[in-house]
Amino acid sequence: MPIPEQCTVLVVGGGPAGSYAAAVLAREGIDTVLLEADVHPRYVHLPVVGSAGFWRRRAFLLT
């Protein structure tokens, strides 16, 4: 995927904090780009932040 030349907010790192920040900003209509070097999905166990129920309740996970 090509990286846009311009954006309002650039989030570097797609871990739990970076992903959450980018999602919140994008949902508010802010032009946000999230850069992550690793292949996703990363398989880590984060019992609260990483659970599907957590994200589904906050409408970040639609399926």
CA atoms of 39 and 21, how far apart (whole Å): 19
Q: Identify the pLDDT of residue 30.
A: 93
Max CA-CA distance within the chain? 36
How do the pLDDT tens digits run along the chain, 63 residues long? 787 889 999 999 888 888 889 999 999 999 999 988 877 666 555 555 556 666 666 665 554
Q: According to the model, what pLDDT value does residue 60 have? A: 59
Q: How far apart are CA 29 and CA 43, in angstroms?
A: 29
Its pTM stands at 0.60
In angstroms, the CA 26 to CA 16 distance is 15
Distances (CA, A) of 59 to 6, 21, 30, 44, 52: 27, 14, 17, 21, 10
Instruction: Write down the pLDDT at residue 26.
Output: 92
